[in-house]
Structure 1
Amino acid sequence: MTPDVLDAALNAAERGWRVFPLRPGGKRPAGHREDNCPGTGRCARVHLKPEQRATTDDRLILGCWTFRPYNVGIATGPSGLVVVDLDTPKSAADRPPEEWKDMPDGMAVFSALCERAGQAVPTTHTVRTGRGGRHLYFTAPPGVRLGGTAGALGWKVDTRAWGGYVVAAGCVVKGRPYRVEDPREPVPLPGWLLDALKPPPAPVGPLRLSVPRDASRVARVALERETAAVAAADKGGRERQLFLSARAVGRFVAWGDIPRHEVEAAFQVVGESVGLKPYECRSTLRSVLNWCVRTARPRETA
């Protein structure tokens, strides 16, 4: 156990933020994955994901972080937080798409988004990440359950809410520390950001989908085309292309033209084949397809 990570866990819990252990020195959750769940202990009835295991109980935190020097994950959704993750390029080849061609990183993109909205960059609790990015912490709006996004707002601008987490200040990942840059309390999520992030309202009344001939064939042709687009994407644009291509095929999943698992498997294979991390692919696909299923318009109006 090291005092820094224990303090990070206790400090977060004091703020009411629910924490869970990450692998020592890393960002991935500690413990077993769902596909390797033993079905015992806390998972005797159902597998508990990190978000469900997150806690503010000092006794549990002391028992966990005195056992091993785990890093600390903050489960954003249960903690009542929305965190805007402003990342930096991972390499010289990690270049912005045409829309953001003059932007060096997520902070610059977010500043441009604020300017477009006629708003100043919000001043709120801020953590400097190990790679030089920033996490901007906001309190979640009441009555709205937001999920996370990956690149939906702009290049290198992600958000963490329900279903996501961030590394707490005081942790060290690959030798690089996460530090508090602005210690003030998180401010409420700005209205313009909420409007950009909240899902559109569900359609009123049942959907009436007129199914064309060979709908499954059309869906599979679209899947072949979009997986090819991911395979052909430039190195710096592959993650964004995966997001765009999955969204293009997602409506066919929502309409029942092609099984979701088939789409996920195809994109997972091509994503990993071009060098994307497996967990990056899974996270992007889960987020995009969940959004598509939730918000798909009727086929005849699409």
Structure 2
Amino acid sequence: MTTAAAVDLTARGLAVFPIPPGGRKPAGPWRSRCLTNPERVRELWRDGDNIGIGCRASGVIGLDLDLDDEADGLAVLAHLAARLGKPWPETLTAATPSGGRHMYFLAPDGCTIGSSSGGRTALGPGIDVRGPGRHTGGYLIGPGSVVGGNTYTVAHDVPVAPLPGWISARLPSLPDRSTR
């Protein structure tokens, strides 16, 4: 089942890599194992592996909207959008087993937005950011993955949209260390 989900994600332009069944963390280095070709996924994927989506290899920024006892990232983003008079972003979105969401956005050219979590993002509590970064980038667990017997699913089945300006304005790029 996860092979079909991984193939679907690559057909949507996302770069996927395997994560051991039931897990959230890759076994060993994953960045060099990102696959973007659906045929290669069909050839190499072991059904049952969970799916990682590499943000740098995919050219995306992922928002991980947590829903737990500490924060409600969905409500925080909805409040921010309403306060700014902006609509809820229409983009590919996955539902997580906890009731949260993973939203995928196309990163602007040359984007160096890094990954941050634990209430350290400028978007507010409960919103983690997984970005392409400068060199390595972060990752998100993809739809089709199963953790603790619960499945990540596609919640909003639309193409991956460009990152809205009102969100990117709140996500600082990494400092340019190449000139130092």
Normalising by the residue count of structure 2, what TM-score does the alignment of the two structures yield? Answer: 0.85
1:147-158 mapped onto 2 (5 Å cutoff)? 147-150=114-117, 151=119, 152=121, 153-158=123-128
Q: Residue in 2 aligned with 1:198?
A: 172
User: Which of 87, 99, 104 is equivalent to 1:137?
Assistant: 104
Alpha-carbon shift at residue 117 of structure 1 (Å): 2.6
Normalising by the residue count of structure 1, what TM-score does the alignment of the two structures yield? Answer: 0.53
Q: Residue in 1 aligned with 2:65?
A: 86
Alpha-carbon shift at residue 125 of structure 1 (Å): 1.3
1:173-184 mapped onto 2 (5 Å cutoff)? 173-184=147-158
When residues 200 and 176 of structure 1 are mapped into structure 2, their CA distance, relative to the original with a 3 A threshold, is closer
Alpha-carbon shift at residue 177 of structure 1 (Å): 0.9
Indicate yes or no: 2:55 matched with 1:76. Answer: yes
1:216-235 mapped onto 2 (5 Å cutoff)? none
CA distance in 2, matches of 1:146, 1:136: 15
Alpha-carbon shift at residue 115 of structure 1 (Å): 2.3
User: Which of 15, 18, 28 is equivalent to 2:25?
Assistant: 28
CA distance in 1, matches of 2:175, 2:11: 35
> How many equivalent pairs are there?
172
Please give the secondary structure, in 1, of the residue aligned with 2:70: coil
Say what the alpha-carbon RMSD is for the aligned residues.
Answer: 2.2
Indicate yes or no: 2:29 matched with 1:55. Answer: no
CA distance in 2, matches of 1:188, 1:108: 21
CA distance in 2, matches of 1:53, 1:193: 29
Please give the secondary structure, in 2, of the residue aligned with 1:197: coil
Q: Residue in 2 aligned with 1:125?
A: 92
Q: Residue in 1 aligned with 2:161?
A: 187
Alpha-carbon shift at residue 26 of structure 1 (Å): 1.6
Contact kept? 2:12, 2:159, Cα under 8 Å: no
Q: Residue in 1 aligned with 2:129?
A: 159
Larger Rg: 1
CA distance in 2, matches of 1:64, 1:132: 31
Indicate yes or no: 2:146 matched with 1:172. Answer: yes
Contact kept? 2:8, 2:38, Cα under 8 Å: no
Q: Residue in 2 aligned with 1:243?
A: none
Alpha-carbon shift at residue 86 of structure 1 (Å): 0.4
Contact kept? 2:73, 2:100, Cα under 8 Å: yes
Q: Which runs of 5+ in 2 are unaligned?
A: none
CA distance in 1, matches of 2:44, 2:13: 18
CA distance in 2, matches of 1:175, 1:8: 17
Query: Where has structure 1 moved over 3 Å in runs of 4 or more?
Result: 57-60, 200-203
Letter in 1 for 2:26: P
Q: Which runs of 5+ in 1 are unaligned?
A: 33-48, 97-104, 207-302
Please give the secondary structure, in 2, of the residue aligned with 1:198: coil
Please give the secondary structure, in 2, of the residue aligned with 1:62: helix
Structure in which a larger fraction of residues adopt strand: 2
Alpha-carbon shift at residue 127 of structure 1 (Å): 0.8
CA distance in 1, matches of 2:59, 2:173: 18
Alpha-carbon shift at residue 180 of structure 1 (Å): 0.9
Identity, in percent, stands at: 38
